[in-house]
């Protein structure tokens, strides 16, 4: 009688509604893992380390629909051997508090709003990251020397790049038709699932995620791209590998190529005149200038004006120039305008500006401006050009292959534009000028349009 009742009871429990989607879970002891087959009464957990407790533990589950679910659970069974780098255990919810019960009920009601293809791609990526991190950690235990770790990473670079890039391309295709509510929901799930592996453990991605200066694309991130393209940053092999990937995706690679383009344009302008005046809008760390100084290439008088609202960026420039040799800075006169470009558009008086410049450029600002503001700024900057001088501005191209990485995951949102949108910024300029959209021939796809406007040109630039 009792055995029959027990069999029927277990059969009914197995028929109960379950959530097969994976959600990130953790214990207060810092053990992370994922949910497996979540039901109203309990779940199976896949954890990075085995549970030492044999009784009850508190757990936290991050759902994208609501606040985190927190409850005490009773351990029903626990497997001491790992399976796919995870330790499995079965737990039963103890009496749920009202808030926890409501969160769990909402999860059952809302889980069907998640796109199953998106969830599957995210689950597979988390699983791959777990396996790859385990592989790296095991190698590091045997080989503490940095030289060995870099060799290990270089052998795996193609594999890592291929795996991550294929994933982000697939996510990009999956989300392209999401409305804003769907995007926000899936972004929350995506971050909950992957942030630990692609942000918390990785220095550059932590800066992209947390934005210590309060906004995306600051000069600190640009400096990371300049400093670590084709280089390795981090302690562990895993961190080095993911940092390397971040610094070498086409968008990051193009940031370096863009900087080198402006270095060449500064030198080209300098070669054609006895002395020149240059204005950089949203100058950041002005690495195109400071690198030329360090290389001893400023050999004629150069008057260089920076405009940026970020004082820390100016301090970075000053610190770099202070380290340069005196003979390399003797021809450079630099001034700093700690102002917003919006004040510049409005005609606010600024002390450290010339009436005319031989070259004006902005290398990153326009990625964040509406077309209306971009058009106004282009027209205003054009008025500051001397005859035959050139204005250069850049804007990000469409990049669906990697946007899931730096935008959906990292929160670095750019305004990606088409060629005709960028060219339209010059439509209202009445004075004689030549317009060109410059494409750079680089070993990886160059992800920026460079709009060049030459005032009253006597010849092609």
Where do the domains of the chain lie? Answer: 13-109, 114-245, 250-453
pLDDT for 2 equals: 47
Name the token pair of 84.
């796919």
How many other CB atoms are there within 10 angstroms of residue 356's CB atom? 14
pLDDT for 15 equals: 52
| Per-residue DSSP letter, 162 | H
Is the pLDDT confidence value at 11 over 80? no
pLDDT for 28 equals: 79
Name the token pair of 308.
């940026």
Topology adopted by domain 13-109: Thrombin, subunit H (2.40.10)
Q: What is the rounded CA–CA span in Å between residue 87 and residue 134?
A: 13
pLDDT digits (tens, 9 = 90+) for 317-361: 999 999 999 999 999 999 999 999 898 888 888 778 999 999 999
| % pLDDT > 90, the chain | 86
Q: What is the rounded CA–CA span in Å between residue 323 and residue 395?
A: 32
Please classify residue 171 by burial: count the beta carbons closer than 10 Å to its beta carbon, then call 0-12 exposed, 13-18 middle and 19+ buried: buried
How many other CB atoms are there within 10 angstroms of residue 60's CB atom? 14
pLDDT digits (tens, 9 = 90+) for 428-460: 899 999 999 999 999 999 999 999 999 988 754
Strands (E) located in 37-161:
38-39, 42-47, 56-61, 69-78, 87-93
Mean pLDDT across the stretch 230-250?
Answer: 97
Q: What is the rounded CA–CA span in Å between residue 42 and residue 75?
A: 10
Is the pLDDT confidence value at 461 over 60? no
Is the pLDDT confidence value at 58 over 50? yes
For helices 237-248 and 250-271, give the axis angle rounded to 10 degrees: 50
φ/ψ of residue 135, rounded to 5: -60, -45
235: left (phi over 0), alpha (psi -120 to 50) or beta: alpha
Q: Which CATH homologous superfamily contains domain 250-453? A: Vaccinia Virus protein VP39 (3.40.50.150)
Name the token pair of 298.
């400023």
pTM of the complete model: 0.91
The answer to whether 316 and 223 have CB atoms below 8 angstroms apart is: yes
How far is CA 171 from its chain centroid? 15
pLDDT digits (tens, 9 = 90+) for 252-278: 999 999 999 999 999 999 999 999 999
């Amino acid at each position: 009688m009792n055995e029959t009742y027990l069999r029927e009871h277990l059969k009914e429990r197995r028929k109960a509604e379950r959530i097969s989607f994976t959600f990130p879970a953790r214990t207060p002891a810092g053990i992370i893992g994922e949910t497996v087959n979540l039901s109203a009464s309990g779940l199976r957990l896949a954890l990075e380390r085995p549970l030492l407790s044999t009784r009850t533990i508190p757990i936290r589950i991050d759902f994208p629909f609501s606040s985190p679910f927190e409850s005490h659970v009773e351990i029903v069974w626990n497997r001491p051997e790992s399976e796919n780098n995870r330790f499995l255990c079965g737990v039963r919810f103890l009496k749920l508090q009202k808030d926890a019960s409501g969160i769990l009920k909402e999860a059952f009601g809302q889980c069907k709003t998640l796109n199953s293809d998106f969830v599957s791609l995210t689950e597979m990526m988390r699983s791959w990251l777990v396996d790859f991190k385990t592989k790296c950690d095991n190698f590091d235990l045997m080989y503490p020397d940095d030289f060995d770790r870099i060799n290990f990473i270089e052998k795996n670079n193609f594999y890592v790049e291929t795996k991550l890039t294929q994933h982000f391309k697939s996510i990009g295709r999956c989300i392209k038709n999401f409305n804003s509510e769907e995007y926000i929901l899936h972004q929350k799930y995506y971050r909950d699932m992957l942030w630990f592996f692609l942000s918390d453990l990785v220095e550059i991605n932590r800066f992209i995620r947390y934005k210590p200066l309060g906004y995306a694309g600051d000069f600190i991130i640009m400096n990371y791209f300049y400093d670590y393209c084709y280089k390795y940053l981090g302690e562990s092999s895993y961190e080095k590998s993911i940092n390397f990937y971040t610094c070498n995706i086409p968008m990051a690679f193009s940031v370096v190529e863009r900087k080198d383009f402006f270095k060449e344009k500064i030198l080209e302008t300098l070669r054609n005149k006895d002395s020149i005046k240059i204005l950089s809008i949203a100058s950041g760390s002005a690495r195109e200038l400071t690198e030329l100084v360090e290389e001893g290439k400023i050999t004629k008088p150069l008057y260089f004006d920076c405009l940026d609202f970020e004082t820390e960026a100016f301090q970075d420039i000053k610190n770099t120039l202070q380290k340069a040799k005196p003979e390399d800075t003797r021809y450079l006169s630099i001034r700093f305008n700690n102002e917003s470009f919006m004040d510049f558009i409005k005609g606010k008086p600024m002390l450290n500006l010339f009436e005319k410049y031989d070259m004006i450029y902005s290398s990153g600002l326009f990625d964040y401006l509406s077309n209306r503001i971009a058009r106004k700024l282009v027209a205003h900057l054009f008025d500051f050009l001397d005859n035959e001088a050139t204005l250069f501005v850049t804007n990000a191209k469409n990049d669906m292959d990697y946007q899931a990485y730096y935008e959906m995951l990292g929160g670095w949102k750019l305004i990606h534009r088409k060629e005709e949108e960028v060219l339209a910024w010059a439509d209202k300029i009445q004075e004689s000028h030549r317009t060109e959209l410059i494409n750079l021939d680089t070993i990886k796809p160059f992800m920026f349009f460079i709009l060049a406007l030459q005032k009253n040109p006597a010849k092609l630039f």
